[in-house]
Amino acid sequence: MNVMPRIVSKPSPDPLLDLYVDLDGTLIATDIAEESLVHAARDRTAIGSALKAYRAGGLAGLKRSLALSNPPDVAHLPYRHEVLDYIRNERSKGRRVILATAADATVAHAVAAHLKLFDAVIASEPGRNLKGAEKLRAINELSKGPFEYLGDSAADIPIWQSAARSGFVAPQRAARQEMRRDPDAHSLIVQRKISPLQALFTAMRPHQWAKNILVFVPILFAHEYVHLPVMLAGVLAFLCFSLCASGVYLINDIMDIQADRQHASKYKRPFAAGDLTIRQGIPAAVVLLVASVSAGFFFINALFGFVLIGYAILTTAYTFVLKQYSTVDVVALSLLHTVRILAGSAATGLTPSPWLLTYSLFFFLSLAYMKRFIELDRMAGATDNARLPSRNYFASEVQLVLTFGIANGALSVLTLAQYVNSTAVHANYNSPFLLWFIIPIMMFWTYRSWTWASRGQIGDDPVVFALKDTISRLCVGLVLVIIVSARLIDIVWSAG
């Protein structure tokens, strides 16, 4: 079986042939207008201005309004390095290179100024949307002769058909049909790095589903893990919550594209990297959210379904509003983890302990502050008024965030100690002394994690670190053994 390599480059033999390069989907692995429209969704003023511009100047007017209200960070766009290398190589031969795009002219000129690789720019202006046949007319007006064109979409088909040589970059399905028409005229073919389906699965963050194990916590502390119906309800709750969380992750990543591109590692996320488009992500998010909530109501119970809706509302509020406010954002993150415990209680009918919920709030608030501390700590050397992208935290606040995080970690351990010595424990366990050993284990884990965070050894997400770290897994295992052992001692005690 012959498989076409991901990159095929056959430079033009004609050094006088003008090279026209599309922007969205070709030079960059994204659509700037789509991103600007999504970003404007947070701003009523920007949306209102965009609608007025659309009524006055059509699609091109809309693009201009979006470009002015939310100019893209051209330095961090996901440029396709294969295309850049091809342009540099052809330009070194003396060929003229023109950026030809349906994007707004202000955006196109900003990209051209940043890259310094183009001799001219043709782009959309209010009243003229340079797409498809209209772009071809603009190309013919400028070149008045044979030309080469690099594109990606079905809208580029009439241009390819008129071009002397054609380049196909991550071509869409209709474009792939055109690609087969005249193979001898191909100059550059760049295939996708990964398929949209693979990118979607990555964007769903399946590694984060481990957080949803929290739905089993009420089962653990109620010692109902030996009852099959209860465990089955817990498994179904886990699956529904995982799908719902994945839908939320898609929305969050779509809204955070620009901030993610400026992050040390998040720039690799599928939306930020351009491996997945917004028009692919939004329908997928809607399907995941609707399917998970519907399954929750149908297969589990109404209370669980409403808790799932509450989670979706809270996390959507976090994505669009709450994350912009310091302190509010970390409290919201703590609540989002605690809601998972409430979901497990709703699914199984087991009443959660107030001690458990209080501990959860303090514990996950500490981890949320740890996440912010890590981000701020990476800004070491920045000016005091330097701010985290899309977050209301400044570099000068790193020690304050560190203090808040350690304090909440200590409060979680204190809450655990009070619970172990409470009347509730003595009422439910004949030999509660064994539970006391959980306290030093959690003290060790909490302060060790903060020490490692201060050394820059945690990574981006403390929860993900805990799932991968051998010592953390050992601590969790010991806690589980202690809880189950305390129950077994009670059974033996009762039997004796």
The pLDDT assigned to 67 comes to 81
Contacts of 485 (CB under 8 A, 6+ apart): 434
Dihedral pair phi/psi, residue 307, rounded to 5°: -65, -40
Considering the domain boundaries, does residue 410 fall inside one? yes
**Last-in-domain residue among 306, 322, 350:** 350
Considering the domain boundaries, does residue 135 fall inside one? yes
Helices (H) and strands (E) in the chain, counts: 21, 7
Considering the domain boundaries, does residue 38 fall inside one? no
Q: What distance in Å separates the CA atoms of residue 171 and residue 162, rounded to the nearest whole number?
A: 18
Both 326 and 375 in one domain: the answer is no
The pLDDT assigned to 287 comes to 96
Provide the CA 261 distance to its chain's centre, in angstroms: 11
- pTM of the predicted model as reported, rounded to 2 decimal places: 0.84
Dihedral pair phi/psi, residue 21, rounded to 5°: -125, 125
Task: Decide: 311 and 244 in contact? Cβ < 8 Å.
Answer: yes
Both 332 and 186 in one domain: the answer is no
- Give the domain CATH number at 114: 3.40.50.1000
Could you write out the DSSP letters of every residue in 441-453?
HHHHHHHHHHHHH
Contacts of 252 (CB under 8 A, 6+ apart): 315, 319
Tokens read off for 73: 């960070």
The pLDDT assigned to 384 comes to 66
Tokens read off for 176: 């792939």
Query: What residues are paired with 189 via a beta bridge?
Result: 8, 168
Both 313 and 187 in one domain: the answer is no
Both 341 and 311 in one domain: the answer is yes
Provide the CA 290 distance to its chain's centre, in angstroms: 19
Considering the domain boundaries, does residue 218 fall inside one? yes
Tokens read off for 495: 């039997």
Give average pLDDT by consecutive 10-residue segment, the chain, 496 residues.
Answer: 56 77 94 85 72 76 82 91 93 92 93 95 90 92 90 91 90 80 80 90 92 92 87 95 94 88 85 92 95 95 95 89 88 93 94 89 94 86 74 86 95 92 78 86 95 88 86 93 82 60
User: Which residue's structure tokens are 């030996």?
Assistant: 226
Both 312 and 396 in one domain: the answer is no
194: left (phi over 0), alpha (psi -120 to 50) or beta: beta
Q: What distance in Å separates the CA atoms of residue 333 and residue 58, rounded to the nearest whole number?
A: 41
The pLDDT assigned to 1 comes to 38
Domain containing residue 289: 214-265+284-350
Considering the domain boundaries, does residue 467 fall inside one? yes
Both 474 and 368 in one domain: the answer is yes
Find the distance separating the first CA and the last CA of the chain, reported in whole Å.
Answer: 71
Both 154 and 249 in one domain: the answer is no
Both 148 and 13 in one domain: the answer is yes
Considering the domain boundaries, does residue 364 fall inside one? yes
The pLDDT assigned to 2 comes to 44
Total structural domains in the chain?
3
Contacts of 12 (CB under 8 A, 6+ apart): 19, 90, 95, 148, 165, 187
Both 247 and 141 in one domain: the answer is no
DSSP state, residue 352: P
Whats the size of the chain, residue-wise? 496
Contacts of 194 (CB under 8 A, 6+ apart): 202, 275
β pairing state of 186-190 and 7-9 = antiparallel
Both 143 and 17 in one domain: the answer is yes
DSSP state, residue 170: S
Both 377 and 395 in one domain: the answer is yes
The pLDDT assigned to 461 comes to 83
DSSP state, residue 31: -
Task: Decide: 318 and 336 in contact? Cβ < 8 Å.
Answer: yes
Q: What distance in Å separates the CA atoms of residue 108 and residue 67, rounded to the nearest whole number?
A: 10
Q: What distance in Å separates the CA atoms of residue 184 and residue 214, rounded to the nearest whole number?
A: 58
Considering the domain boundaries, does residue 205 fall inside one? no
Considering the domain boundaries, does residue 278 fall inside one? no
Both 160 and 16 in one domain: the answer is yes
**Last-in-domain residue among 350, 365, 388:** 350
